[in-house]
Structure formats: structure tokens, C-alpha cells
Structure 1
Amino acid sequence: MPNNASNHPQTHEPLAMTPSAPSTTTNRLHPPDNSADVALPSSAYQSKIPKQSLDYALRSGLAGGIAACAAKTIVAPLDRVKILFQASNPQFQKYTGSWSGAIAAIRDIYKADGARGLFRGHSATLLRIFPYGGIKFLAYEQVRAVVIKGKEQETSGRRFVAGSLAGCLSVFATYPLEVIRVRLAWETRSSKRVGVRQICKVIYNEHPPQATTRASVLQQSNVPRAAAVTAEATSAAITAITPSHGLSNFFRGFTPTLWGMIPYAGASFLTHDAAGDMMRLPLLAPYSILPLSERSQKQLAPNKPPPLRAWAELTTGALAGFVSQTLSYPLEVIRRRMQVGGVVGDGHRLTMAEVGRSIIREKGYKGFYVGLSIGYVKVVPMVATSFYVYERLKIVFGI
């Protein structure tokens, strides 16, 4: 989720290139004590890499992947507890609904499996999150350059669309790894350690109920034999043309994931960009913008708004995570339930509507927000970290 400071340089005037030609934008964005700073000569600036080039795409993708891994590692224990709550794991249902319950769940996991238990499934998380983060950041940079070509197109709607498209593209590429990660985190049996290979075999070989079940029920209900045979043949035909196991099992919950990604990624990028704009307002600029004297040569590149201080960068990320999590959380709960559908119950693959009705029957509308408090605690440091690391790595990589 790239910082607004580096994604749309067209919204700000270039910084002063020489002391004799001061920029009005520099005076507006920086505190008075910075106005006396002397900008570096143009020969000190790094050459700008074209955004549509392969070099830029590779560098932004690598920076995004590393940033995503760093963020996920920080919140891995909370992420595992949240998945257990969302998926209604029977062993941890007694802990849901309170902060003390989340702490108790972490304590029980630690007692049973040690620190390794808190990070169960994290290796699969990193395998997924690196390409996911890389593709998302890379896609946002590229999609944004197409959707927003000038200052007059810098609107909230276009920012939202660019973020949503980037999120959807990343999900398409990495969803099976997400299913594996969730199943590893959901697994709580301590008799033997379950690895990635075993989980993949289990998911691949899971089958829904047999097609003859419906015909048997019809016969038991005194339905004429001809009708029962017809129903059985119809059910078998549907089963034959509908993927019921194998690779399709790795896409359980894919539809709600896409629906959830639209508000999540869109609101995340939109909020972050808007928060970045707010941090650069004249009222906050003296406190939020990094002074010229503290910037490296790469941070003084022309046609780029001034970088934010660390606290401001982290704050914009935290706001983005809070807003996006709130809007998309109900769909995230539905997605988790669908992803573990082969573990609980009879393996019947429920639709989004069926899962939603099931949640309402069990817990009412509050069931859509189970684990949301943990989600907030997780998202704030996670998204803030990803923003911060990504922006700093962009400086290191010269983009």
C-alpha cells in the first residue's frame, strides 16, 4: 500500500532545484526553519526510473513482498487466534467475545505447542504473502498510473478503483496459498505435527456428500421409484460436471474473498492516500514532513512530494487498516467459514448466502464481527508496518 507521497507526484510542484529559485510549494509544505535549507544541486539527484518499465515493476514488487512479510511476521500470533475464532474452532469457542479470551487462547496455544504453536502456518503465510504483497503493490503502482493520469483525475473514486483492482489481481494469483495457510492455522491437534504437504493432500482429497443421498431420502419419503431414479440421475449428472474435489478445493471461499477485497483494498489505498494528503496540509506539515536537512539524496528527487516522518507514515497506515478492516470484516468471516468447510460438518460446500444465514442462526448479526477487536489490534501494526517498510524500501531501491 504505497504512500501518497510517492504515488502521484503530479499533485505537487517540484521542489526547489537551486537556492536562487525557491519554490512556493517548498515554503508551503515545510516549516519556517526548513526554508533556509539549501537543496542539493541537480547533479546529486537520482535519475527517475519510468513507472511503466520492467525495472520499476520488479523493484516495486520486491519492496512490496518484503514489506508484507515483515508486517505479517509481527502479528502472526494474533492472526492465528483470529482465524480460530472466525472459523468457530470448537476448542476455542469458549474464549470468543472478550480481550481476556484472546489472551487466554494465546496462553493455551503456547502451553500446548510452545512458541511454534503461535506461528503454526506462518511458513505458508510467508509463501503466500510475499507474492501477494508484491503483486498488490506492483499492481497498484501500475493501475494507478493508468487510472489517474493527471491532477484533474486525482479523485476519491479513482483512488478506490485503483486499489480494488490491485487487490483483486493479487488475490487471483495467490488464493490457494491462503487456503493452505488458514487450514494450517485452524489445525489444533497436538498428537502429531501437520505439515504443508499433509494439509494439501487432505484438502485435495476432500469430497462432498455422495450424490445418491438425495435419491435415498426421496425413496424413504414414499416418492415413486421413477421420480427417485430421475432425481438420482439428475444429481449424478450435476455432480459429474461440477468440480467437487481436487484442485477446486483450494478455491473455497474465493467468491467472498473477491467481494471482500473490493472494499478492503479500495478503502485501504483511498484512506492512506487521503491521510497522506492531510499530513501535508500547512497546519500539520511542520510536524509531519521530514525536514530537508534529514533527507537522503534519494529522498530529494524532483517531482515528488516531501516524505513523511516515521510517526506520520505509521499513522496513515493505521488509519487505512482501521477503515478497511471495518468495512470488509463481515465478508472476511464468511470467507473463513467457507475455507474450512471441508473440516467442519459433512464437507458440504455452502454458498455465501447459506454461510451468512448459518452465522445469523447461531449468533445473530454479532456473529459477523467475531474477532473484530483482535482484527483491529492486528491490522493497525500490520498495515502501518507494511506502509513504512514499503516506502523506506522504495527509497533504498531508488524508485
Structure 2
Amino acid sequence: MQVLAPKKRQNLFRSWTAMVVEGGHRSLWRGNGMNVAKIAPETGIKFLAYDQYKKLFEDGQNKLDLHHRFLAGSLAGATAQTIIYPMEVLKTRLAMGYTGQYHGINDCLRYVIKHGGWRALYTGYLPNLLGIIPYAGIELTVYETVKKAYCQKYNQDPKNPGVIVHLGCGTFSSTCGQLGSYPLALVRTKMQAHDVIRDGAKVAMHKYFHIILQDEGFIGLYRGFAANSMKVVPAVSISFVIYEQMKRILGLNSN
């Protein structure tokens, strides 16, 4: 949707159908092996870094202001993305490739390095970093703020308000984060997929914004947002539920 739909005038249903026609139903999971491989270290590093950054900003009473939470979340997201970003590039390359183009993750890695060098593994890193800072900052800040506000209003235990509360707060925070950072994620994906679709000379980040606004208007900056939300919102919401439950099981302080 982000890369090919504007040129082919495809909506979500047509894009789905085109993928199935080209590579069968297995094509809908193309690149998912790398996606699964990266999500564990990415999420683990993000939550670990978030807790560590919060400790840097805490006062003696273990309380954080809103802007401190936002800064801790932004730094945590930037830290995680910097470490796992090459896996993000490979995931996009695998997803965008045609059937039979790559014989697995290692083959894709060799191809990227051979034709673009090691720097190709960080294609689109700048818009990704600029996007993850508001996304992770908004997501983690809104999640904790909304959860604490709910627990105070309804006199719930903030350490264990229930799965439904975690799920609802996670869904709301993820949606807020996506709205604030999606245009940068869109440009990042276009830059990552450029060599796959071989669409002329490489384009700088700011030029992509100009092209999108010129060809599609402001709404073009949110091309594929519905499909992305269908994926990200439940995934992130579930991750918050598991995160909170594991903290409780392991006896960790919810703060």
C-alpha cells in the first residue's frame, strides 16, 4: 500500500488480491520470518531502555513529569531502532520482493550488501529515527498517563488494573503514536523499497515528502494507514498486556 498502491490505484482489497494472485496466500506472510526475529529484541530493548531512562529522570519519590516520560520513551524507541534497524530493512526487502526473488533471509542479506554495501542496511534510517522519537514517546507516555488516570478515577490498583484496562490503554496509545509519526514511516518504507522497485535515481527524504504532497495531497502522507493500524494496534496492545502481566509474575515494581 505504501509503495505500489499510488501508482497502481489500488485500495486495500485490490492490493491483497494482487499479492495472492502473484504469489499465492503464502505471499501474505512474505518477510514475516524476519519480522518475528526482529520483534523480540526490538520490544525487549525498548521496554528495558524505557525503564532505565526513566530512572535517570526520577526524583527521590519515584515520580516523573509528563515531559520526562515522553523523553524516556523517545530515547528508548531510538535506542531499540538503532540496534535492530538492519533487520527492518531486510523485512521490507523480503516483503516487497517477488516470488522466488530471495531464497531466505541470508540470501536477501547477501544481495543487499552486494548491490549497496553495508550502508544499504541503514537506508531510510533518518526518517525512521525522526519518526520513532515521537511515536515511542507518545505511545509510552500516553499509555502510562491514561492507565494511571483511569486507576485514580476508578480507585483501581495501578499494579494490576486488569487485562481489559491494559488492552484499552495500549490500543489508544498506539493509535495516538501512529497518527503522529506515520508520514515519516511511509517515507522510510519508500526509501527502503526503492532498490526493489527500481524507480529511477534515489530520492532524498525531503523530496519524497514533496512528491507525495504534489501527487496525492496531504492524504497521501497516510497511504496505507488503515492497514497499518489493523496490524499495529492489536500487536502493540497485546505486547503491553503481556509486558504488564510478566512484570506482575516476576514481582517487578509497576513504576
Q: TM-score, normalised by structure 1?
A: 0.59
SS in 2 for 1:95: coil
Alignment of 1:346-357 (within 5 A): 348-357=201-210
- Pick one of 40, 59, 78 that aligns with 1:168: 78
Contact 2:128 2:188 in 1 (8 A): yes
The equivalent of 1:344 in structure 2 is 197
Letter in 2 for 1:340: A
Q: Deviations over 1:239-270 (max 9, x none)?
A: xxxxxx30001100001111001100000011
- Pick one of 162, 182, 198 that aligns with 1:309: 162
Q: Tell whether 2:4 aligns with 1:95.
A: no
After the TM superposition, which of the residue ranges 263-272 and 357-366 deviates more from structure 2?
357-366
In the TM superposition, residue 197 of structure 1 has moved relative to its aligned partner by 2.2
The equivalent of 1:362 in structure 2 is 215
Q: Tell whether 2:110 aligns with 1:276.
A: no
| Alignment CA distance shift 1:379-1:191 (3 Å) | closer
Letter in 2 for 1:280: C
Q: Deviations over 1:179-227 (max 9, x none)?
A: 000111111x235664212222222233xxxxxxxxxxxxxxxxxxxxx
The equivalent of 1:251 in structure 2 is 122
In the TM superposition, residue 346 of structure 1 has moved relative to its aligned partner by 5.3
| Alignment CA distance shift 1:168-1:359 (3 Å) | same
The equivalent of 1:6 in structure 2 is none
Report which of the two has the higher share of helix.
2
- Pick one of 24, 49, 52 that aligns with 1:139: 49
Letter in 2 for 1:148: E
Contact 2:27 2:99 in 1 (8 A): no
Structure 2 stretches lacking a partner, 5+ long: none
Q: Tell whether 2:16 aligns with 1:86.
A: no
Letter in 2 for 1:375: N
How much identity, in percent, do the aligned residues show?
Answer: 30
In the TM superposition, residue 105 of structure 1 has moved relative to its aligned partner by 3.1
Distance in 1 separating the partners of 2:78 and 2:210: 26
Distance in 2 separating the partners of 1:249 and 1:89: 24
| Alignment CA distance shift 1:347-1:393 (3 Å) | farther
Distance in 2 separating the partners of 1:192 and 1:202: 10
- CA-atom RMSD, angstroms? 2.2
In the TM superposition, residue 274 of structure 1 has moved relative to its aligned partner by 0.8
The equivalent of 1:155 in structure 2 is 65
The equivalent of 2:178 in structure 1 is 325
In the TM superposition, residue 108 of structure 1 has moved relative to its aligned partner by 4.3
| Alignment CA distance shift 1:195-1:306 (3 Å) | closer
Structure 1: 4+ residue segments shifted above 6 A: none
Distance in 2 separating the partners of 1:86 and 1:169: 25
Distance in 1 separating the partners of 2:99 and 2:168: 39
Alignment of 1:197-212 (within 5 A): 197-206=106-115
In the TM superposition, residue 393 of structure 1 has moved relative to its aligned partner by 1.7
Contact 2:212 2:220 in 1 (8 A): yes
How many matched pairs?
252
SS in 1 for 2:242: helix
| Alignment CA distance shift 1:362-1:131 (3 Å) | same
Alignment of 1:57-68 (within 5 A): none
SS in 1 for 2:197: coil
- Pick one of 109, 114, 122 that aligns with 2:19: 109
Q: Tell whether 2:48 aligns with 1:195.
A: no
Letter in 2 for 1:279: Y
